[in-house]
Amino acid sequence: MTTHPTPAVISHYASGGADVDDATVWAVEAHLEVCAECRALLSGAVDPGTRELLDRVAAGITAGITAGPGPVRRRRLPRTGVAARVLPWLATAAGLMLAAVLFEKTFASLPSLVLLIAPVAPLLPVAAVWSRRLDPAWELTATMPRTGLPLLMRRTLGVLITVVPVLAVAGWGTGHSPGLWLLPALGFTAGALALGTLVGVDRAALALAVAWSAGVVAPSLADGQLPIVLTGSSLPGWALTTVVLTAVLLVRARRRPRHLTRTFR
C-alpha cells in the first residue's frame, strides 16, 4: 500500500477486519508499521472497551517498571541429584557393616564377618554412583568434556570418604588391624573400576561381590576359619594388587578416553 488507508478502512480494520479482505489487511498492517500518523488514527478508531483495556495494561506495565523487581522468594528444590540417589546404597553398606559387627560380637567362635564383608562393602555405592539408571543427568554428564575417568574418580573418592569411616569404626569395634579391612576394600574398588572399562562398573561390582561371597565368605563360615587372603601375611599382596589394578585403569583410560563413557554405566 503506497498511500495512506482511508479512515473507513482503518475503522473496519480496528473493528476486527470482518469486512476487509486479507490482502487489504496485510497492506494496512505493513503500512501501520512505518506510519505514525495512521497508527494515531487507528488508536482513535478503537472502541471504548478496547481502549480502556489497553490503558489498564499500559498503566500496569508502567507501574511495574517504576516499582522495579520485587523480592525473589527462594525455595529449596528437592534433592534429585546423584548424591541423593546414592544415599540408600551408602546406608545399605553401613547397615551391612553394622550387622557384621553384631554378628561377630554374637558368634565369636566364627571367622570375623567384618573382615569378610569389608572388601565388598564399597562395591554397591561405587556401582550406584556411576549408574545411568540412578543419574538423572546421564545424557548431559556423558557429553561433558571432563567426563570419563576424572568424573568417575571424583565420585569414587566421595564414596570412599563415606564408606571408609564406617569400616574404620567396625574394625576398631572388633579390634582388627586397619590394613586387614582397608587394603582389601581398596583392592576390590580398583578391581571394579578396572573391570568396569570392559563390562561396566555396575556389572563388574556385582560379579566381584558374588564371586567373593561364593568363593571366600561362604566357605570361610562353613569351615570356621578365616582365609589366608585376610591374614597379616596377605597385606603386601593386597597392596600390590591395588597398585596394579589402578595402573591398568589409568592406562586404559588414557588409551581409550571415550570408551569410558560407554562402559561406565
Mean pLDDT of 243-249: 88
Q: Does 132 share its domain with 28?
A: no
Neighbour-count burial of 136, counting CB atoms closer than 10 A to its CB (0-12 exposed, 13-18 middle, 19+ buried): middle
Phi-psi category of 72—alpha, beta or left, where left has phi over 0 and alpha has psi -120 to 50? beta
Distance CA 106, CA 108 (A): 6
- Kindly state whether residue 39 falls inside one of the protein's structural domains: yes
| C-alpha cell at position 172 | 576398631
Q: Does 60 share its domain with 162?
A: no
Distance CA 262, CA 138 (A): 11
Predicted pLDDT at 240:
94
- Kindly state whether residue 26 falls inside one of the protein's structural domains: yes
Predicted pLDDT at 40:
80
Q: Percent of the chain, pLDDT > 70?
A: 76
Q: Does 164 share its domain with 247?
A: yes
Element spanning 176, H or E: none
Q: In the Cβ-directed half-sphere of 243, how many Cα atoms lie within 13 Å?
A: 6
CB 129 within 8 A of CB 86: yes
**Torsion angles phi and psi, residue 24, rounded to 5:** -70, -40
- Kindly state whether residue 20 falls inside one of the protein's structural domains: yes
The letter for the amino acid at 201 is V
Distance CA 110, CA 117 (A): 14
Tell me if residue 35 falls in helix, strand or coil.
coil
Band of residue 239 on the pLDDT scale cut at 50, 70, 90: very high
- Kindly state whether residue 219 falls inside one of the protein's structural domains: yes
Distance CA 83, CA 125 (A): 10
- Kindly state whether residue 75 falls inside one of the protein's structural domains: no
Position with higher pLDDT, 246 vs 53? 246
Q: Which of 19, 34, 67 is the last residue of a domain?
A: 67
Q: How many domains are there within the chain?
A: 2
Q: Does 155 share its domain with 201?
A: yes
Query: Is the pTM above the cut of 0.75?
Result: no
Predicted pLDDT at 2:
56
- Domain region containing 41: 7-67
| DSSP per-residue string spanning 146-208 | TTTHHHHHHHHHHHHHHHHHHHHHHHHHHT--HHHHHHHHHHHHHHHHHHHHHH-HHHHHHHH
Sign of CA dihedral 129, 242, 218, 105: negative
